[in-house]
Amino acid sequence: MDLDFSKEEQQFREQARDWLQDNVPEDRRPHHGDAMRDYDKEWQKTQFEAGWAGVSWPVEFGGLGLGLTQQLIWYEEYARAHAPDNHLCFVGLHHAGPTIMACGDEAQKTAHLRGMLTGEEIWCQGFSEPNAGSDLASLKTKAHVEGDELVITGSKMWTSHGHLADKQELLVRTDTDAPKHKGISWVIFDMKTAGVELRPIEIMTAPNLPHFVQCFYDEARVPLCNVVGGLHNGWSVAMSTLGFERGTAQIKDQIRYAFLVEQMIERARKRFGGANLQNDEIGSRLAQLRADMAAARAMTYMVVSRAKAGLKGSESSLMRAMVGDVQQRVRRLAMDIIGPEALENPEDDDWVYFYLRTFSTTIAAGTAQIQRNIIGERVLGLPR
Amino acid sequence: MNLLPSPEQEQIVDTLKAFLSEKAPVSRLREHGALGNPDQALWQELGQLGFLGLGLSEEAGGVGLTSADEALVYREFGRHLISVSLFGTTLGAHIAASSGDQGLLDSLLSGTTTVGVGNLFSDGHLHQEGCSGEFHWFEARDAQFVLLLDESGAALIATEDCADRRKVNATDASLALERATLSNAKPTCWIGAEAAQIHTRALLLTAAYATGMAEATRDMAVEYAKDREQFGKPIGSFQAIKHMCADMAIRTEAAQSQTFFASLVFAENRDDLALQVVSSKIVAVDTALKNAAANIQVHGAYGFTAEADAHHYLKRAHVADQLWGDLRTQRIRLLSLSPTAQ
């Protein structure tokens, strides 16, 4: 048990801090559309060119080939420098990329990993369907083999930024006779393929602007060599990266939210007066959140500690469940602190926007309820 | 950076686990409730094993380990609901060591001198020259000293110096509780808060103790949910119960991670020490209280009985909450701390 960082790790931290200080974009990140896409790609490219884009990615794909501790340090410094998240690169960097690294063949790695890191290749996810959400394995989008191609027909739902993406990690049913977890394949799908149509879906933060798309596939053809990890083996391919590696990236949110709680304390002191806050319900909630944010950060350290020790259990879901809940409570309290201003949603102030946005934290990537099933069954060993 | 206990630390914890499982199963509280708590009889053996002076230097007669190791063993003490009198001995030993009273220190580390725990009940103040106020005294009945501490410092007061004591019925009936009024009682031993970070250490050990209770109630609830069948199935297969257990596990992971983290920050004496330790007490006590309640609910009517151990954890969690400032007090304190660069 220790909080020590080696001399090399501390040097790495100083280098990261210095570089971020000089290079973090000064303009605010747009929340939508091509402007957001250009912004994310540009910032990703800047990080790549300076060598910071993939701290723990192998050197052969443009990464630094360093360990989880350096990855953690990078994200800590990233958040401290108030660097913006480039959400459009998220699926590539944290999901499709690690999946291809774990299960892809050499050609697939060579074709895609570098582009994810440089920001040239934007990825989206094609997992959920209109009738396959929490019960993901019941997905029905079908694909059959014709020669050296897969022919895909069906529909995918809740694909964030699908209209802005180049590639999609797509789960399709390639064997309809097999048990539901056995007949699925994980496919690299080009969003420009003929036979694909996108229907935009607006979300509660921003009516009139699409966030999700629903994707319709009408006999869309994909080369068979785009199947990752073997035909019908897609479920275990998809599960290979759901978990602990992404623990390090969570530290960014922990630190940002801790900053936010400090801002909220300042704002509440101004509005109510510091002394009045002491016996006030808002003061009590602020203090509890300050403690909870400290704990969320410690939990992230715990996730990284377990990963470094090679313990690849489902325990990281404990941290995820906690953090989803805490983020919602922070944003909810922010609304109470700003009071009547909460009814205004100006373009240049994010407080209300992010309050609305955090409703996704207990839904996306497995609802809070599914998380609790996983915790109950895989961490605690309760029967199904 | 590593929050997991090292193999050496695991070994220490395993030794203690084996000792407590044999000598202090939680079922002892059922048998001894009305007769008084027998835990102080264990102090001499715990002393021989080194557990009473774990965080004290070897020159002082301790084991020379850190606050992180103390926190790890206090987790086990909480899990077994060991008498809170142990806080009196551990913290009392730090006070004796810091004030250079080697004779007192030796008798504390050997477990022959016992120390009750005083907790401020209403207005009062602690001072080197004299301590005044109304206090709850836990487990002071047969003890030679009582420990008093707050943000200004810590005192060991000879129990015989206080005539104004009366026994009260304790909510947690496995602890002997008195109300004691002191007027200008001069401490036998006194240290300021800076020495040995005594007040912060008390909060940290309470957080660790509460974490142990939270883990125990989580485990009890999960075991019962696997075992108890209704509607032809283990009740843990129902999401209503499964999700309660999952929530217990989520909270416990938060309490454990934060307490480990804070114990390391304590050992390094970092700038954010107060913030991390107060946070750990808030999160751990809140978790101990919530888990204790959830554990009773998962056990159903059985959980409501005196023979189930569930109620002991609830009552002790309220004691841990009150010790050295309850959740409300700690939240006010946490809000008043300035943010740190950490």
Cβ contact (<8 Å) for B253 and A69? Answer: no
Predicted confidence at residue B281, as pLDDT, reads 98
Here the tokens at position A40 are 């994310």
Q: Which chain A residues have a beta carbon less than 8 Å from that of B278?
A: 291
Pick the residue from chain A with its C-alpha nearest to B265: A3
Q: What is the CATH number of the domain that holds A56?
A: 1.10.540.10
- Measure the CA–CA gap between B184 and A286, rounded to whole angstroms: 38
Domain harbouring A160, CATH code: 2.40.110.10
- Test B260 with A371 for CB contact under 8 angstroms: no
Task: Report how many Cβ contacts below 8 Å link chain A to chain B.
Answer: 161
Residue of chain B whose Cα is closest to the Cα of A265: B335
Residue B231, by phi and psi: left (phi above 0), alpha (psi -120 to 50) or beta?
A: left
Tell me the CATH number at B270: 1.20.140.10
Chain A 168-227, CB below 8 Å of chain B: which residues? none
What is the Cα–Cα distance from A44 to A118, expressed in whole angstroms?
6
Q: Is residue B87 part of a domain?
A: no
Residues A44 and A141 in one domain: no
In this complex, do B6 and A380 lie within 8 Å of one another by their Cβ atoms? no
Residue pLDDT, tens place only, B158-190 = 999 888 999 999 999 999 999 999 999 999 999
State residue A243's pLDDT score.
55
Residue B218 lies inside a defined structural domain of this protein: yes
In which domain, by residue range, is A63 found?
7-85
Does B291 contact chain A (CB < 8 Å)? no
What stretches in chain B show pLDDT beneath 50? none
Q: How far apart are CA A186 and CA A171, in angstroms?
A: 5
For position A244, what pLDDT does the model report?
A: 45
Q: Name residue A27's amino acid.
A: D
- In chain A, residues with a C-beta closer than 8 Å to the C-beta of B261 are 3, 294, 297-298, 301
Residue B25 lies in a domain: no
State whether B268 and A262 contact (CB < 8 Å): no
| A275 and A369 part of one domain | yes
A161 within a domain of the structure (yes/no): yes
**Dihedral sign for Cα atoms in the order A359, A362, A367, A372:** negative
Please name which of B45, B43, B39 lies closest in space to residue B25, comparing C-alpha atoms: B39
Task: Give B104→chain A minimum CA distance, Å.
Answer: 32
Tell me, what DSSP letter sits at residue A323?
Answer: H
Q: What is the DSSP string of A86-102?
A: -GGGHHIIIIIHHHHHH
* Amino acid type, A321: A
CATH no. for residue A298? Answer: 1.20.140.10
Which residue of B13, B218, B250 to mutate against A (max A Cβ within 10 Å)? Answer: B250
Helical (H) or strand (E) element with A74: helix A68-80
Distance from CA of B72 to the nearest CA of A (A): 11
**Tokens 């660790």 appear where?**
B208
Instruction: Answer whether A301 sits within 8 Å of B261, measured CB to CB.
Output: yes
| β-sheet with B189-192: strand ranges across | B165-168, B177-185, B131-138, B115-125, B145-150, B153-158, B189-192
The residues in A 270-289 lying below 8 A from B, measured between CB atoms, are 277-279, 283-284, 286-288
Residue B171 confidence (pLDDT): 94
Cβ–Cβ contact B329 with A under 8 A: no
- Residue A109 domain-assigned? no
Strand partners, A169: A125, A188
Backbone phi and psi for residue B27, each to the nearest 5 degrees, phi listed first: -60, -20
On the CB side of A305, CA atoms within 13 Å amount to 21
| A 47-76 near B (Cβ less than 8 A) | 69, 72
Q: Does any CB of chain A come closer than 8 Å to the CB of residue B5?
A: yes
Within 8 A of A3 by CB-CB distance, chain B residues are: 1, 261, 264-265, 268
* Cα B164 to Cα A379, B99, B126, B134, B141, distances in angstroms: 52, 27, 17, 10, 13
Provide the residue-wise pLDDT of chain A in tens; the chain has 384 residues.
999 999 999 999 999 999 999 999 999 898 889 999 999 999 999 999 999 999 999 999 999 999 889 999 999 999 999 999 989 999 999 999 999 999 999 999 999 999 999 999 999 999 999 999 999 999 999 999 999 999 999 999 999 999 999 999 999 999 999 999 999 999 999 999 999 999 999 999 877 788 999 999 999 999 999 999 999 999 999 988 765 455 677 888 888 999 999 999 999 999 999 888 888 999 999 999 999 999 999 999 999 899 889 887 788 899 999 999 999 999 999 999 999 999 998 877 888 989 999 999 999 988 999 999 999 999 999 999
Q: Which residues, 6+ apart, have CB-to-CB distance to A91 below 8 Å?
A: A123, A124, A125, A160, A165, A169
**What is the least distance, in Å, from the CA of A332 to any CA of chain B?**
18
Q: Residues B183, B133: contact at Cβ < 8 Å? A: no
Pair (A309, A257) in one structural domain = yes
Q: CA nearest B291: which of B331, B239, B256?
A: B256
B52 located within any domain: no
Q: Do A299 and B253 touch (CB under 8 A)?
A: yes
Q: Which amino acid is at A383?
A: P
A93 part of a folded domain: no
Domain that holds residue B304: 196-336
Asked if A298's CB is within 8 angstroms of B258's CB, the reply is yes
Give the count of domains, chain B.
1
Within a domain: residue B75? Answer: no
CA dist., res. A262 & res. A281, Å (int): 17
Report the residue of B276, B335, B337 to disrupt the A interface, i.e. the one with the largest count of A CBs within 10 Å.
B335
The answer on A134 and A15 residing in a single domain is no
Q: Which of A204, A234, A264 is the last residue of a domain?
A: A234
- The answer to whether position B259 is within a domain reads yes
Contact criterion met (CB below 8 Å) for A189 and A171: no
Structure confidence by residue, pLDDT tens digits, B285-325: 999 999 999 999 999 999 999 999 999 999 999 999 999 99
Same domain? A141 vs A268? no
For residue B61, the distance in angstroms to the closest alpha carbon of chain A comes to: 24
The verdict on a CB contact (< 8 Å) between B234 and A383 is yes
Q: What value of ipTM does the predicted structure carry?
A: 0.95
**Residue A96 included in any domain:** no
For residue A298, the Cα-to-chain-centroid distance in whole angstroms is 20
On whether both A50 and A144 belong to a single domain, the answer is: no
For chain B positions 14-73, those within 8 Å of chain A (CB to CB) are 68
User: In angstroms, rounded to a whole number, what is the distance separating the alpha carbons of residues A338 and A336?
Assistant: 6
Q: Is residue A97 in some structural domain?
A: no
For residue B222, give how far its alpha carbon lies from the nearest alpha carbon of chain A (Å). 7
A351 shares a domain with A251? yes
Residue A190 sits in the same domain as residue A251: no
Residues A134, A192 within the same domain: yes
Residue A125, strand partner residues? A169
Active site residues of A: 245
- Do A135 and A76 share a domain, yes or no? no
Contact of A370 with chain B, judged by CB distance below 8 Å, is answered with no
> Into how many domains does chain A fold?
3
Residues A356 and A252 in one domain: yes
From the list A299, A302, A376, the residue facing B246 with the nearest CB is A376
For residue B32, the model assigns a pLDDT of 60
A369 and A278 in one domain? Answer: yes
Smallest CA-to-CA distance from B80 within B37, B49, B115 is with B37
Q: Is the Cβ pair B3, A298 closer than 8 Å?
A: yes
Q: How far is it, in rounded angstroms, from Cα B184 to Cα B163?
A: 12
Residue of B nearest to A276 (CA): B332
